[in-house]
Amino acid sequence: MLALEMVGVTKQYGRRKALSEVSLRLEPGGALGLLGPNGAGKTTALRLLLGFCRPDAGGVQLGGLDPQDPSARAGVGYLPERLAVPGRARVASFLRLHAGLAGLTGACAERAVTDVMTRVGIRERADDPLAGLSKGLRQRVGFAQAFLGEPKLLLLDEPTTGLDPLGVRDAREWISRARERGCTVLVSSHLLSEVERTCDQIAILHEGQLAASGSLDEVVNEGESLEDAFVRWVRP
């Protein structure tokens, strides 16, 4: 069974086509980098995969299930581009809530919260209000909530936004570790170097259409960098 699949998906907002007949598939354990310039439809693809909206045409499946079905989202860790946090909530209480929503209870939830805070380096910030955190720390909290419950599938939307170079390096390591334990990863980004280092599959979206997809070797010609290939596909 595929970890995720989009077949001929079209999504329209008013007259604007955000996605047009896009097909994507990702095997369990794989890592797909969803590339594209701003407004290419990357976030719309993630929203469809999470069941936040329905496609106008085509089909979307998450682990073989309709993403509108809550059980399809069990074992999914999601990091949005901008982490939404309740203003006065504190780091640990926010993570406890999400541990509970991920199905963790009691001591298991508490252990998971401590573990993810340690993993992303925010344990000493456990009692800090979320509103007072810097962008980078907030993004670390976002990673922490996405890692809760050791998800089988990670959907990361512009995961390195707001992180400093050390944070970017850490994020890469967290993603690699998740992959090592068999987690499937989809990274939506316009940072080519990040995708190149963390993913083995590439899909390039341009103006809502799938411009290219395949392994790095298939998308990038010999002697060409990913950046060259990206420019070639989106600015033919």
Partner 1 sequence: MSAFGLLTREAVQDAMRRRIVFAIAAVSVLSLMVVDGCTRCSTGEIVVNGQPQQLDQVAGAAGLLTFVTLGMWIILLAGVLAADHLQQSLEDGTASLCLARPLSRASFALSRLAGVLILTGITGAVLLGATGFFLATRGALALAPAALAAGTCALGAVGIAGLSMALSLTLPRLSCILVVFGAVGSVALANGLGLATHSGGGLLAAIDHFGPPLLSAMTLALAPWVPQVQIPGALPAVLARLVIWSLIGPAALVLAFRRVELGR
Residues binding partner 1 (CB under 8 A): 13, 43, 47, 50-54, 70-74, 76, 78, 80, 82-89, 97-98, 100-103, 105, 145, 155
CA dist., res. 148 & res. 128, Å (int): 19
Minimum distance between the CB of residue 137 and partner 1, rounded to whole angstroms?
A: 17
Q: Locate 48 and state its tokens.
A: 């469809």
Minimum distance between the CB of residue 102 and partner 1, rounded to whole angstroms?
A: 6
Minimum distance between the CB of residue 72 and partner 1, rounded to whole angstroms?
A: 8
Question: Nearest CA to 187 among 206, 203, 173?
Answer: 203
- Residue whose entry in the numeric block shows the structure tokens 């045409």: 57
CA dist., res. 78 & res. 82, Å (int): 11
CA dist., res. 67 & res. 97, Å (int): 22
Length of the chain: 236
Cβ contact 36:73 at 8 Å: no
Residue 74 or 126 having the CB closest to partner 1: 74
Angle at 92 between CA 87 and CA 94, to 5 degrees: 45
Minimum distance between the CB of residue 83 and partner 1, rounded to whole angstroms?
A: 7
Minimum distance between the CB of residue 199 and partner 1, rounded to whole angstroms?
A: 21
Minimum distance between the CB of residue 110 and partner 1, rounded to whole angstroms?
A: 13
Residue 159 or 219 having the CB closest to partner 1: 159
Residue 85 or 168 having the CB closest to partner 1: 85
Residue 101 or 231 having the CB closest to partner 1: 101
Residue 78 or 230 having the CB closest to partner 1: 78
Residue 13 or 164 having the CB closest to partner 1: 13
Strand order in the sheet with 76-79: 76-79, 153-157, 184-189, 31-35, 201-206, 209-215
Q: How many angstroms separate the Cα of 2 from the Cα of each of 9, 27, 64, 65, 68?
A: 16, 5, 7, 10, 17
